[in-house]
């Protein structure tokens, strides 16, 4: 039965499904801008809690109840990956509340290049000259974006935003290392672990609760529609699409997120953000297209 379901998802359908996934991911910024009272760590707590609740329903439905038993038998890589997801959950929402959506999303877009660097340092993966060039251009784009606006942006927000791609790079490096040593890491249960850790870590910081019923409805939307469902779908797409395709399609989150925040919350990105973001995304697109061509 599982094999029959896997065969249904063709390459073309996986591409379009990944586009839908990035659109779902991208709603976080615009939805957050419409919160009434919830702030900072309370936002992260409720989103992670709703994500956890959704995954507790989705995982047994897709993989059966045995998924929880398999988690207990998993190695340390699952828990390291879960910790990385927890950092990403928490840092992303805090950064979104501290800085413009565009700045956060462009900063997150460097994750594939950071992953290449960490994989080179800790696993010994070869970095092609094109990737070194892309890293340099993307670094220039980030410097351009923040250099002209640094006076108006909180340093803490910038550092928090950087935690997201760093944790993502560590996450994928750990997964690749485990797979090279014959230990498969199921990324969907790792998301569940991340949600649990995020809930536990942010609960003391979220008190006293101030979220209104309106806020809770929006945060439930984020937990289920923006995080739990698309993360599961992205893992499914990853079984069909190659890594360069996933990385390239994931960049749509940046474009969708900036447009939604602009149209839905009036958060117009500055010229420096657009220019720096164009450099970052252009470098990534160029690198991933060349990688895709080499694989073909």
**pLDDT, tens only, 36-61:** 998 889 999 999 999 999 999 998 88
Q: Which long-range contacts (CB under 8 A, 24 or more apart) does 246-249 make?
A: 246/18, 247/112, 247/284, 247/288, 248/284, 248/285, 248/288, 248/289, 248/292, 249/15, 249/18, 249/19, 249/22
Length of the chain: 296
pLDDT at 74: 67
Q: Is 82 within 8 Å of 187 (Cβ atoms)?
A: no
The parent domain of residue 179 ranges over 2-295
**What tokens were used for 151?**
């006076």
The percent of residues above 90 in pLDDT, for the chain, comes to 32
Q: Is 59 within 8 Å of 192 (Cβ atoms)?
A: yes
Q: What is the mean pLDDT of residues 113-141?
A: 80
pLDDT at 244: 67
Please give the sequence-ordered ranges of beta strands (E in DSSP) within the chain, or none if there are none: none
pLDDT at 154: 67
Single pTM value for the model: 0.83
Q: Is 45 within 8 Å of 272 (Cβ atoms)?
A: no
More confident residue, 289 or 201: 201
User: Measured at the alpha carbon of residue 275, what is the angle toward residues 269 and 280, in degrees to the nearest 5?
Assistant: 105
Q: What is the mean pLDDT of residues 194-210?
A: 94
Please give the sequence-ordered ranges of beta strands (E in DSSP) within 212-254, or none if there are none: none
Q: Is 234 within 8 Å of 21 (Cβ atoms)?
A: yes
Contacts of 166 (CB under 8 A, 6+ apart): 114
Q: Give the count of domains, the chain.
A: 1
CA–CA separation, 51 vs 228, rounded Å?
5
**What tokens were used for 277?**
């973001």
Nearest Cα to Cα of residue 24 among 255, 251, 256, 262: 256
Q: Is 231 within 8 Å of 52 (Cβ atoms)?
A: no
Residue 187 to residues 93, 118, 194, 234, Cα–Cα distance (Å): 21, 19, 10, 10
List phi, psi (to 5°) of 96. -60, -35
pLDDT digits (tens, 9 = 90+) for 57-92: 998 888 777 777 777 766 777 888 899 999 998 999
Q: Is 149 within 8 Å of 273 (Cβ atoms)?
A: yes
Q: What is the mean pLDDT of residues 209-219?
A: 96
């Amino acid at each position: 039965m599982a094999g029959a379901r896997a065969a249904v998802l063709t390459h073309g359908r996986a591409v379009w499904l990944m586009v839908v996934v990035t659109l779902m991911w991208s709603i976080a910024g615009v939805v957050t801008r419409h919160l009434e009272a919830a702030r900072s760590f309370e936002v992260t707590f409720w989103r992670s809690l709703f994500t956890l609740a959704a995954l507790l329903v989705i995982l047994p439905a897709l993989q059966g109840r045995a998924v929880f038993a398999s988690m207990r038998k998993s190695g340390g890589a699952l828990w390291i990956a879960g910790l990385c997801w927890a950092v990403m959950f928490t840092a992303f929402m805090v950064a979104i509340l501290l800085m413009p959506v565009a700045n956060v999303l462009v900063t997150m877009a460097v994750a594939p290049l950071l992953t290449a660097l960490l994989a080179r340092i800790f696993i010994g993966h070869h970095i092609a000259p094109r990737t070194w060039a892309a890293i340099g251009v993307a670094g220039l784009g980030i410097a351009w974006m923040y250099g002209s606006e640094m006076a108006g942006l909180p340093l803490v927000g910038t550092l928090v935003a950087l935690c997201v791609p760093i944790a993502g790079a560590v996450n994928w490096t750990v997964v690749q290392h485990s797979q090279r040593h014959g230990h498969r890491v199921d990324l969907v249960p790792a998301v569940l672990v991340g949600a649990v850790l995020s809930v536990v870590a942010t609960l003391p910081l979220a008190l006293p609760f101030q979220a209104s019923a309106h806020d809770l409805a929006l945060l439930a939307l984020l937990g289920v529609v923006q995080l739990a469902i698309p993360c599961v779908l992205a893992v499914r797409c990853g079984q069909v699409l190659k890594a360069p395709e996933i990385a390239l399609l994931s960049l749509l989150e940046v474009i969708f997120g900036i447009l939604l925040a602009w149209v839905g919350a009036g958060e117009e990105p500055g010229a420096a953000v657009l220019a720096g973001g164009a450099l970052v995304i252009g470098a990534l697109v160029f690198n991933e297209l060349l990688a895709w061509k080499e694989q073909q």
